Amino acid sequence: MFPRSDGILLGGTFERNKWDIQPDPQITDRLINGHKAFFSAMQDPWS
């Protein structure tokens, strides 16, 4: 997660010798679901 003045950037991966700039849907899903789980764990269970 990378905070920016105009929002938050989710992502950032590295694979040696892979230069394709097209997003991988499986990695996108994994990143989004991971961040959802992270922030869901911070919710007040009583609200």
8-29 pLDDT tens trace: 888 888 889 999 889 899 999 9
Q: Are 30 and 13 in contact (CB under 8 A)?
A: no
> pLDDT grade, residue 2 (50/70/90)?
confident
CA distance 6 to 9: 9
Indicate whether this model's pTM tops 0.75: no
Q: SS3 of 46, please?
A: coil
CA distance 46 to 39: 15
CA distance 22 to 18: 11
